[in-house]
């Protein structure tokens, strides 16, 4: 496993209690269970654009376009638009 970092999170008391019980039931540490849950959540979300899709856009920008002069800004704007469309609440 890569470098592990320590962090502090705030969770409702009942959620923490249920999580600890689940960890014991699965014979895992609380940290292991939380890491697995985070990895599963992240893996279940498809990024809005793959690298291949982003690079394919490069050929579609008109050379006289202001976007062509600043592709990093263009990609940053694409990512921001995509973040606005994603639902981070689930």
Is residue 37 one of the residues assigned to a domain? yes
Q: Is residue 4 part of a domain?
A: no
Establish if 7 belongs to a structural domain: no
Q: What would the pLDDT profile of 35-83 be if each residue is shown by its tens digit? A: 999 999 988 887 666 666 666 666 665 666 665 567 677 777 777 776 6
In which region does residue 23 sit, left (phi positive, over 0), alpha (psi from -120 to 50) or beta (all else)? alpha
Domain that holds residue 39: 13-44
Q: Identify whether 62 is part of a domain.
A: yes
Residue 6 falls inside a structural domain? no
Q: How many domains does the chain have?
A: 2
Q: What does pTM read for this prediction? A: 0.51
């Amino acid at each position: 496993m890569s470098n592990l970092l320590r962090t502090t999170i705030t969770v409702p008391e009942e959620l923490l209690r249920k999580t600890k019980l689940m960890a014991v039931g699965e014979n895992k540490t609380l940290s292991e269970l939380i890491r697995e849950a985070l990895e599963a959540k992240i893996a279940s979300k498809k990024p809005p654009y793959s690298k291949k899709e982003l690079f394919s856009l490069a050929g579609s920008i008109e050379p006289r376009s202001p976007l062509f002069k600043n592709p990093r800004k263009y990609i940053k704007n694409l990512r921001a638009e995509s973040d606005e469309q994603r639902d981070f609440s689930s």
